[in-house]
Structure formats: structure tokens, C-alpha cells
A = this chain, B = another copy of it.
Amino acid sequence: MDANSIKIVKPTNVIIKNPLKLLSGKVLSEYKLKYETYGSLNSDKSNAVLICHALSGNHHVAGYYEGDDKPGWWNNMIGPGKPIDTDKLFIVCVNNLGGCHGSTGPTSINPITNKIYGSDFPMMTVSDWVESQKELMDVLKIPFWKFVVGGSLGGMQALQWSFQYPKLIHNCIAIAAAPKLTAQNIAFNEIARQAIMKDPNWHNGNYLEKGVMPNQGLSLARMLGHITYLSDESMREKFGRDLKNSKLGFNYDVEFQIESYLRYQGEKFVTGFDANTYLLMTKSLDYFDPVKDMSDNLIKNLCECKSNFLIVSFTSDWRFPPKRSKEIVKLLLDNKRNVSYSEISAEGGHDAFLMDNKDYFDVMASFIMESSNGI
């Protein structure tokens, strides 16, 4: 266990009985949210931080579960003395609604039918997630978020907070994000979805009822995801054209190391993730387009938003490259918001937002420290 890490952590469940009207028009009459918190809410409740997770993330952001030697997914960023400092801040992270790690989602029982939701689980949007996170905020009696922080799809949620609840967010950190997906981004998501939905075990999304899982499709989707998470350069460095065996086999078994890596990633992923959740997460990415959806309201809300913004991008990220982050910066500057922008030189591709990098961590620590005055 990392000496500077938060130690053992436990998730908490809360049932929200306030019906949630979704952007699709559907309503969730009640739902469970699974979340974790680290650090303590201070007496004037001014140090709360919401961490928003990305496509395959969850509420287990930092620290260790009892008996588990793998920490949460952002343990390098969050902990005592780390950029998001648990000695000073009160951290909250919730498994997104529609997820598969404890919050109500497609694998849960639909209280109306008493059957597994499966494909009956409604489509989620970033805006719906913000609404459900607002419910949790009320449960925890948090008056405002000192910081809302996220990378990738998590960054989109952080941005959405500033548009949707402009008065409840003091600082917004959106890392490796974009103001909306491009046609190419949507194309990758669509192929991932088709891979899942063409799996013979798909059964229109009601595979759990049949006792099977569309794991081949989900595995393909994940393999494809990995291409977009890594940079061409980092793949070259990690694998190059190295062979698994000493010479070519002239067959369709694994021949190159990169093939071995991808197959392993695909196979590992399906043991802990639900295909319907994967589909729904890709759709929420595709749908995200606050400038279009909120139109005049977005501008009005942004003008009411006193939040500071930190937008971070990585040079080798080709999923959401720096130019996409600059679109966010432009939108905010055009509306006279207080924006810091940092383009980090990094070879890790989109996944760089999860990796150690001195410049990145310094930028995060310094923005958070400066914005934490009075805590």
C-alpha cells in the first residue's frame, strides 16, 4: 500500500426517493446511489469536492478496499498531501446512475416489473447525472462544491455543473474533455455499440435474464476504446512491432505484442463491466452538446456562474486533443469567465489524465491551492 495513500475506504449507499425526470422524458421514481467520501466536511461546509468519473470509472476513486491491493482509479491525484488533498478537502464520488458498480443501473431490479432492468433502463445524459449528483449533495448537506473535477466524460459533467447549477460550483476543473463529440468520436462509439449489439448473447439487452453476457462484443468495444485512449506514440513505445514469439506464425493467433495487450484488456474488462452500462455511457457522450441543448439558457447561466475554470489537455491525446479543450476555453472566455488553460506535454494519449506527470500535478496542485484560500 502506497504510504501517502488514503487507507481503507468503504462505499455508502443512499436511496433517493425524489423522482428524477430525465432528459429523455422518462422518470426514475427512486434510485440508489453508491458513493465514497474521503476527508471531512469542515465546519462551514466550504471544502466539498465532487469527482466525476469517466466511461469505465466508478465511485472508488482513492484508497483501498479491505483485502484489495489495488487502490481507487485516481489514487495518485487524491490523498493526503496530493493535489486533491484529503487533509484539507472533503471528497465525494458517486457511481453514475446507470452504472454497474452499485448505483441503480441496467443490472438492477426494476421496482415496477420486479425484473432486471436490462434494456428497459432509460438512457442517461450528462445533465441527468448532474441532477442525481445534486440530490446526493442535498443528502450530504453540502451547500456548494468548492471544486467539481473530472477527466474525459467526467470533465463534461464538471462543465455541465457550471452551466446547470452555476451558483453551486466555485471551481470547475475539466481535464481531457470536449464541448461535444465530433463525428469521428461518435463513429468510434457507434462501432463499439454495434459490436455489443451484434453479439449472439445480446438478446436485445436482456441477456442477464437468459443467464448469458455479450462478452465478445463488450470485449471488442473495449479493445477499440483502448486504441483511442493510447497515443500512436505510446503504443509504439510500449509495443512497437515486437512479436509475442520469436517468429511469425502466419496464422490468426496472437503474433504481435499489441494484439496480446488488446485481447487481454478486452477479456479483463468483461469480468467487471456491464454491456448495457457501456452502451448507455457511450450514448451520454454522443448526446453531450450543452451549447446546443441549453442555447440561451447556457449563456444566461454562465453569466451567473462565478466559478473559476481550469481546463487541462494533453499534447498526445487524439480522442479529445488540445484543440477541443481550446473550444471550451473559447466558449468560457467569450462569456467573460475566469479561465486557466494548461496544455500538458505528455505521451500517454487520452489516458494521460490518469497518469503521473509532474507538470500536470503541479498545475492541479497550484490551481487547487490558490482557489482554496479560506479553507
Contacts and interface: CB of A to CB of B under 8 A. Distances in A.
Nearest to A293: B248
| Interface bracket on A | 35 or more
Given A24-B250, A250-B123, A251-B123, A241 B194 contact: no
A180 B241 contact: yes
A218 B146 CA distance: 50
A296 B22 CA distance: 66
Given A183-B236, A184-B235, A227-B184, A193 B252 contact: yes
A257 B187 CA distance: 10
A200 B212 CA distance: 15
A289 interface: yes
Nearest to A216: B198
Contacts of A258: 183, 186-187, 190
A191 B252 contact: no
Interface in A288-305: 289, 292
A299 to B, nearest CB: 20
B232 A190 contact: no
Contacts of A235: 182-184, 187
Nearest to A230: B184
B191 A223 contact: yes
- Chain copies in complex: 2
B187 A241 contact: no
A287 B250 CA distance: 9
B195 A220 contact: yes
B183 A238 contact: yes
Interface string A8-32: 0000000000000001111000000
A180 B230 CA distance: 20
Interface string A196-239: 01111000000000000000110110011011001010011011
A248 B283 CA distance: 11
A188 interface: yes
A349 to B, nearest CB: 10
18 contacts: A24-B248, A24-B250, A26-B250, A123-B251, A180-B241, A182-B232, A184-B230, A184-B236, A187-B235, A187-B259, A190-B259, A190-B263, A191-B262, A194-B219, A194-B266, A197-B252, A241-B289, A248-B287
Given A182-B236, A184-B235, 11 more contacts: A24-B248, A123-B250, A180-B241, A183-B256, A184-B227, A190-B262, A193-B252, A194-B263, A198-B216, A198-B220, A241-B289
